[in-house]
Amino acid sequence: MKQQWIAFKTLVHKELVRILRIWTQTLLPPLVTQTLYFIIFGKFVGSQVGPINGVSYMSFIVPGLVMMAVINSAYGNVVSSFFGAKFQRSIEEMLVSPMQEWVIVAGYVCAGVIRGVVVGILVFLVSCFFTHPTVYQIGIVIVFMVLTAVVFSLVALINGIFAKNFDEVAIFQNFILVPLIYLGGVFYSILRLPVFWQNVSKLNPLLYMVDGFRYGFFGFSDVSVAFSAILLIILTLMLWQANIWLLKKGVGIKN
Amino acid sequence: MNAIEIKNLFKTYKNGTEAVRDVNLMVAKGDFFALLGANGAGKTTIISILIGLVNKTSGAVKIFGHDIDTEFDKAKRLIGVVPQEFNFNMFEKVQDIVATQAGFFGIDRANAVNNSEEVLKKVGLWEKRISMARTLSGGMKRRLMIARALVHKPKVLILDEPTAGVDVQLRFGMWDYLRELNAKGVTILLTTHYLEEVQQMCRNAAIIKEGNIICLDSVRNLNKLITQETYVIAVKKMQSLSGIEVYKPIKVDEYTLEVDLNRDEQLNGLLIKLINNGFDITDVHPKGQRLERLFLSLL
């Protein structure tokens, strides 16, 4: 067990070195993008939109934009690193070692979460230049941020496992993840939508992550926070098992 | 105890290719063993099964008694592998690559750094420790993979065509290092196209054809299977070959002849015949391609 722990720490260390080595690709871009969102949506568009549940539009979008950065960073880190290792065949360094599958999954997820959370905190700090964000329950904020980063790190790992080329990495991100993020209540409350679209929105798992996270800031939510938390935990457990199973079977990494 | 035991090993890929068919192989502890075969014969598949990169279809594999079906983690700890193609992150630093591999094998950071220093010095890459892997020459990259394979001090070293595309000087250097490791007790299994490599270093060898082992013996015995030897004869000046036609000589150039002699034929007889026909002999040596002949005759 001690050796597996050392292997886990080694993988996390290797990933963190990678994140810092290419910080202009891993840490900087989300700050620039989210700053633009604050300026365009928060300042320009937001000035035309009234408060939501007594919260200014600029403040309302802060949790959504932080969560968007967390999701993109956690996801992007794991999928690019894992697929990169497959592409360069350096993944064989792990496969020939006695590392168990759960160590590989845990290592990548841990690195994805660290990058996601760090970027999320940086985006939150940027938001302080535009508004005075309040935090209603820090525990809820942390739980939703970390669990969401875990879920999307696990999804990214599955994407990396199945991907055979860079196109297949980009397809999920561009055609599934991005629409889900934008339609997940980052910029609006679904209660302002017609009932039909409210119900459609509830099929989007990202809604529950963004909404629960926002509850931690303001103390109000569009859907049940407890339900959102349970959904996140169930997703985490299912995706964790799926990753372990795929790696044990050698899908996408062994012949 | 055998270092490697392979019993009734089969591998059929999803596309239906039967890469390995009923392979049985024992490599003794401390052996220097060669796996020979043409491209696509199944050598790399066998090696990949041993190290966990390919799932076998059926059969049993043990590394120092550890079954890869039930104790693969223990088996893996005993193996170091040098693959045929570069498989490290080109954007990582040399020492990071080696120390990280040690970490993956459960060696704590301090020891991993120490071990990496030791092996990098041994393969002559210590000066390059902070260089990005992609900046290394081809030969250095191959040495890096050897260092990485040795960083956890394995008992078995598996090398898949380690000297392919490597210049002569580096190849000889690698041979010396592998001999040194073997002398220290490391069991070595290698695949190679260079039969000279096998003759120079290996004690035992198996020849694989279409996924089957068609010949398995000591290199010495394999050499004996060849009943003919080619001699290279250097002369001061070429003379007419008519007087020695019975030996079917081949004129390589104005100063060199090649003659095949059967085991029951005496070299003395040939030399006397050459002298009697006016040849001034300056050098005679066997061509040393016995294993090549066997290899080609079997394939």
pLDDT in tens, B240-251: 888 888 888 888
Q: Is the pLDDT at B121 greater than 70, yes or no?
A: yes
Architecture of the B228-298 domain: 2-Layer Sandwich (3.30)
pLDDT in tens, B43-64: 999 999 999 999 999 999 999 9
Which runs of consecutive H residues, i.e. helices, occur in A89-221? 92-95, 101-127, 138-162, 166-172, 178-182, 195-201, 205-218
Q: Is the pLDDT at B239 greater than 90, yes or no?
A: no
Return the number of other C-beta atoms located less than 10 Å from residue B43's C-beta: 27
Tell if the CB–CB gap between B91 and A21 is shorter than 8 Å.
yes
A10 and chain B in contact, CB less than 8 A = yes
pLDDT given for residue B261 in this prediction: 83
Query: Are the CB atoms for B218 and B203 separated by under 8 Å?
Result: yes
Tell if the CB–CB gap between B104 and A94 is shorter than 8 Å.
yes
Band of pLDDT at residue B110, cut at 50, 70 and 90: very high
| B2-224 CATH, one of 3.40.50.300, 3.40.1350.10, 3.90.550.10, 3.40.190.10 | 3.40.50.300
Map residue B9 onto helix, strand or coil.
Answer: strand
Contacts of B91 in chain A (CB under 8 A): 21
Query: Are the CB atoms for B97 and B133 separated by under 8 Å?
Result: yes
Token representation of residue A36 = 């633009």
Map residue A41 onto helix, strand or coil.
Answer: helix
User: For A14, which residue in chain B has the nearest alpha carbon?
Assistant: B100
Token representation of residue A242 = 């799926």
Closest to B119 (Cα-Cα) out of B155, B152, B158? B152
Kindly state the percentage of chain A with pLDDT values over 70: 100
Tell me the C-alpha distance between B196 and B212, whole Å: 23
B89 and chain A in contact, CB less than 8 A = yes
Contacts of A95 in chain B (CB under 8 A): 51-53
Beta partners for residue B160, in sequence order: B191
User: For B71, which residue in chain A has the nearest alpha carbon?
Assistant: A98
The DSSP annotation for A185-216 comes to TSSS-GGGS-HHHHHHHTT-HHHHHHHHHHHH
Band of pLDDT at residue B292, cut at 50, 70 and 90: low
Closest to B91 (Cα-Cα) out of B137, B135, B143? B135
Cα of B272 vs its chain's centroid, Å: 39
Instruction: Name the residue facing A98 among B54, B77, B85 (closest C-beta).
Output: B77
Band of pLDDT at residue B237, cut at 50, 70 and 90: confident
Q: Is the pLDDT at B262 greater than 70, yes or no?
A: yes
Instruction: Name the residue facing B104 among A89, A97, A254 (closest C-beta).
Output: A97
Looking at the complex, report in whole angstroms how far the Cα of residue B125 sits from the nearest Cα belonging to chain A.
Answer: 19
> Best residue in B48, B104, B148 to probe A by mutation, most A CBs within 10 Å?
B104
Tell me the C-alpha distance between B200 and A22, whole Å: 46
Tell me the C-alpha distance between A133 and B157, whole Å: 59
The DSSP annotation for B101-145 comes to HHHHTT--HHHHHHHHHHHHHHTT-GGGTTSBGGGS-HHHHHHHH
Closest to A132 (Cα-Cα) out of A28, A215, A218? A218
Return the number of other C-beta atoms located less than 10 Å from residue B82's C-beta: 24
B142 and chain A in contact, CB less than 8 A = no
Band of pLDDT at residue B41, cut at 50, 70 and 90: confident
> Best residue in A4, A90, A246 to probe B by mutation, most B CBs within 10 Å?
A90
Token representation of residue B6 = 């392979």
Tell me the C-alpha distance between B293 and B299, whole Å: 10
Looking at the complex, report in whole angstroms how far the Cα of residue A8 sits from the nearest Cα belonging to chain B.
Answer: 8
| Contacting residues for A73 by C-beta, under 8 A, at least 6 apart | A26, A30, A112, A115, A116, A118, A119, A120, A149
Residues in B 27-56 with any Cβ partner in A closer than 8 A: 48, 51-55
Q: How many CB pairs under 8 A join A and B?
A: 87
Closest to A96 (Cα-Cα) out of B137, B70, B48? B48
In Å, how far are A31, A108, A112, A165, A179 from A155, measured between CA atoms? Answer: 23, 11, 11, 17, 16
pLDDT given for residue A102 in this prediction: 96
Per-domain residue ranges for chain B? 2-224, 228-298
Contacts of A111 in chain B (CB under 8 A): none
Closest to B238 (Cα-Cα) out of B180, B268, B282? B282
pLDDT given for residue B298 in this prediction: 65
Looking at the complex, report in whole angstroms how far the Cα of residue B238 sits from the nearest Cα belonging to chain A.
Answer: 55
Contacts of A24 in chain B (CB under 8 A): none
Per-domain residue ranges for chain A? 2-44+54-249
Contacts of B13 in chain A (CB under 8 A): 255
Tell me the C-alpha distance between A36 and B212, whole Å: 64
pLDDT given for residue B71 in this prediction: 93
B103 and chain A in contact, CB less than 8 A = yes
pLDDT in tens, A189-245: 888 888 888 888 899 999 999 999 999 999 998 899 999 999 999 999 999 999 999
Q: Is the pLDDT at B189 greater than 90, yes or no?
A: yes
A96 and chain B in contact, CB less than 8 A = yes
B72 and chain A in contact, CB less than 8 A = yes
pLDDT in tens, A33-60: 999 998 888 888 877 888 888 888 889 9
Tell if the CB–CB gap between B103 and A254 is shorter than 8 Å.
no
A118 and chain B in contact, CB less than 8 A = no
A94 and chain B in contact, CB less than 8 A = yes
A89 and chain B in contact, CB less than 8 A = yes
pLDDT in tens, A110-157: 999 999 999 999 999 999 999 888 889 999 999 999 999 999 999 999
Side-chain-facing half-sphere of A170: CA atoms under 13 Å: 3
H or E element: which one contains B97? helix B94-104
Closest to B78 (Cα-Cα) out of B56, B62, B54? B62
DSSP assignment letter at A229:
H
Tell me the C-alpha distance between A11 and B149, whole Å: 18
User: For B100, which residue in chain A has the nearest alpha carbon?
Assistant: A10
Query: Are the CB atoms for A74 and A156 separated by under 8 Å?
Result: yes
Band of pLDDT at residue B289, cut at 50, 70 and 90: low
Mean pLDDT of B5-30: 93
Query: Are the CB atoms for B202 and B267 separated by under 8 Å?
Result: no
> Best residue in A25, A87, A97, A247 to probe B by mutation, most B CBs within 10 Å?
A97
Q: Is the pLDDT at B79 greater than 70, yes or no?
A: yes
Tell if the CB–CB gap between A88 and B90 is shorter than 8 Å.
yes
Residues in A 145-174 with any Cβ partner in B closer than 8 A: none
Residues composing chain A: 255
Tell if the CB–CB gap between B107 and A6 is shorter than 8 Å.
yes
pLDDT in tens, B137-175: 888 999 999 999 999 999 999 999 887 767 777 888 888
A74 CB burial (10 A radius; 0-12, 13-18, 19+): buried
Tell if the CB–CB gap between B108 and A92 is shorter than 8 Å.
no
Tell if the CB–CB gap between A9 and B81 is shorter than 8 Å.
no
pLDDT given for residue B299 in this prediction: 63
Tell me the C-alpha distance between B71 and B109, whole Å: 25
